[in-house]
Amino acid sequence: MVSVQNICLDRRGISPVVATVALVLITVAAAMFIAGFVVPFVRNQLNEGTECLGYEDYFTFYEEFDYNCYRIDNNPQGTKNYIYALSISADTVPEEKVEGIKALRIQFLGGGEDRGIEVSNGTAAGSNVGQIRMIDKTASRLALPERGGVKTYIYNSSIEFEIIELYPVLKNGRMCKQTDKIRIRDIYCEPNVDLEV
């Protein structure tokens, strides 16, 4: 007859080798699971952080012309129409950087309002209040400044804005950081500046 004492002595625990192998396998599986999420996340963050490099000064206000100013027109209805003239230049960056640009975002701030307009090549131009056009009224389409070039835009609004900011927009839809800004409220157009070219 087998005694109770012998039964207790025959029971054995998991061997130290098996326990070590099990812990190593669990650790490797957990590391692979975490790496499956962490590595793509970090890679995406790094790509997003570097894709705007080289565009820090891409769009800027061009100060050599008499534009970058505004004028007030009183409508027959008694309301005010604010006409903003903006001369914007594009930096001389490598050609592959130019190909990455989709649009120019012009952000108007002030008067308790925040309006953003995207200008891209081929967009239909408008002359109504709240629309942007090229200074050349005969141009039916908007155009971005070419590399090293300057374009002048006219924007009509019923709002008196204080600040205008410029942002490059990449082909993947990402808007990069502000490249320039101007306090437009302080710059009234000289009488000789023709906004109706």
On whether both 72 and 166 belong to a single domain, the answer is yes
Kindly give, in sequence order, each residue whose CB lies less than 8 Å from that of residue 28, ignoring residues fewer than 6 positions away.
Answer: none
Please check the confidence at residue 177 and state whether its pLDDT lies above 60.
Answer: yes
Cα 47 from Cα 100, distance rounded (Å): 14
High-pLDDT (> 90) share of the chain, %:
25
Beta bridge partners of 55: none
- How big is the chain, counted in residues? 197
Q: Supply the pTM of this predicted model.
A: 0.71
Q: Are residues 30 and 98 in the same domain?
A: no
Q: Are residues 165 and 123 in the same domain?
A: yes
Q: In the prediction, which pLDDT does 69 show? A: 92
Domain coverage including residue 76: 59-186
For residue 99, give the 3-state DSSP assignment: helix
- Min mean pLDDT across 38-52, 66-80, 132-146 is at 38-52
Q: How confident is the model at residue 192 (pLDDT cuts 50, 70, 90)?
A: confident
Angle at CA of residue 185, ends 106 and 120, nearest 5°? 15
Task: Look at strands 69-74 and 80-90 and give their pairing.
Answer: antiparallel
Residue 195 belongs to some domain of the structure:
no
Q: Is residue 133 within 8 Å of 153, Cβ to Cβ?
A: yes
Pair (40, 136) in one structural domain: no
pLDDT at 35 > cutoff 80 = no
Total domain count, the chain:
2
* Cβ-Cβ contacts under 8 Å for 12 (sequence gap 6 or more): none
71 Ramachandran zone, left/alpha/beta (phi>0; psi -120 to 50): beta
What's the chain's average pLDDT? 82
- Structure token digits, residue 104: 């120019």
Q: State the Cα–Cα distance between residues 121 and 119, nearest whole angstrom.
A: 7
With respect to residue 193, please indicate whether it lies within any of the assigned structural domains: no
Pair (89, 165) in one structural domain: yes
Token pair 């081929």 is found at: 122
Residue 49: pLDDT band by 50, 70, 90 thresholds?
A: low
